[in-house]
Amino acid sequence: MLLADVREDALRRIIVLTDGHANAGITTPDELLALVGGGRAREVSTSCIGFGDGYDERLLAGLADAGHGNDYWCAGPDQTAAVFADEFAGLASVVAQNVSVEIKPSAAVAVAKVLNEFPITDLASGGIQVALGDAYGGETRKVVARFHLRPVAADGAFDVATLTFRWASTVGEVSLHTVTVPVRVTVGDEGAQDPDADPRVHEEVLVLEVARTRREARDAAEIGDYQTASALLRETATTLASMVAPPQGDIEDLRLDVERLESGHWDAASSKKQFSRSRSSSRGRKTNYEDTPENPL
């Protein structure tokens, strides 16, 4: 049905809603991922909404990544309207599709790593491609990469990497765009303060470190290692407290999670929350709808 719409500017998206696991028809994750990926190859994207605490959040996240869509956790019926409103508002404001960033490190780079949780493909050229999916009007998408540089023999400017941005515009005439941007740094006195250091980048790195630690804590709790999980969540709270404008609500929420772990009251909903918040921070979009509209975080 979606493929029958031959308009060039048509946005084709499937929204999967589930409160459980795949237990009928195609059920294996690999087959489901291949099915969604095949749809994406035909310009059909997929978003996934998990309800309650009985669904497989890892599978839904994987399907959303394969389908270049979004994944959400909807904790209860009170949040249903907000989830759909945000998903459809996003569809109505899409300004670019298939947005990607290719990162090709120079010979000066020993290791390059993307800190966000986006789908990443290793390229034969030695670079990596980061798939960002669709871009909505008014939003800012952020990709943070860390480069470990080899020792250099002399001071001065040198190339670190080449970034190639690609996207298909959906405003006006549909067309493909490619923009290439070089990344350069200047090596100078090791003890001197870097005048070009951007505090916003440091803050974004902290946000992504928090997301990673949340995910590790959730994984530890899943196997019953509550001691490690609580230590990781304490670390997360400490990282948040070091920010220029500490999010006090999130910090207090983490402390409550630590108390829940230490008292043995960790449940499936707690696990869903940590997973969803980690995804939300890493991807820069709201994915968790566990709070009532009257008491948002």
Map out the domains of the chain as residue ranges: 2-92, 95-187, 199-287
Average pLDDT, the chain: 87
Mean pLDDT across the stretch 64-91? 89
d(CA 205, CA 143) in angstroms, rounded, equals: 10
For 52, half-sphere exposure in the C-beta direction (CA atoms, 13 angstrom radius) is 7
Which residue, 291, 216, 203, is CA-closest to 253?
A: 291
β-strands 288-289, 71-74: how paired? parallel
Give pLDDT tens digits for 78-135.
888 899 998 998 888 888 988 999 999 999 999 999 999 999 999 998 999 999 988 8
Going by C-alpha positions, the residue among 296, 234, 292, 291 that lies closest to residue 260 is 234
Cα separation, 208 vs 144, whole angstroms: 9
Residue 60, C-beta contacts closer than 8 angstroms, at least 6 positions apart? 16, 18, 48, 49, 50, 71
* Domain 2-92: homologous superfamily in CATH: von Willebrand factor, type A domain (3.40.50.410)
DSSP H/E element including 186: strand 175-187
pLDDT for 199: 85
Query: pLDDT category, 2, cuts 50, 70, 90?
Result: low
Alpha-carbon dihedral angle through residues 238, 239, 245, 246, given to the nearest 10 degrees: -40
Rounded Cα distance between 81 and 197, Å, is 42
Q: Indicate the pTM of the whole model.
A: 0.81
Distance of CA 40 to the CA centre of its chain: 18
> pLDDT at position 292, please?
45
Looking up tokens 């005439």 gives 173
The set of residues, in sequence order, having a beta carbon less than 8 Å from that of 244 and lying 6+ positions away, is 199, 203
**Beta-carbon contacts of residue 252 (< 8 Å; ≥ 6 apart):** none
Lowest mean pLDDT among 183-197, 264-278, 281-295: 281-295
pLDDT at position 296: 36
The tens digit of pLDDT for each residue in 3-46 reads 555 566 667 899 999 988 888 888 899 999 999 999 988 889 99
Long-range contacts of 223-229 (CB under 8 A, 24+ apart): 226/261, 226/262, 226/264, 226/266, 229/261, 229/266
pLDDT at 7: 61
- Mean pLDDT confidence for 156-174: 88
Helix crossing, 226-241 with 248-262: angle to 10°?
A: 170
Pairing outcome for strands 71-74 and 109-114:
unpaired
- 242: number of Cβ within 10 Å: 10
pLDDT tier, 151 (very low <50, low <70, confident <90, very high otherwise): confident
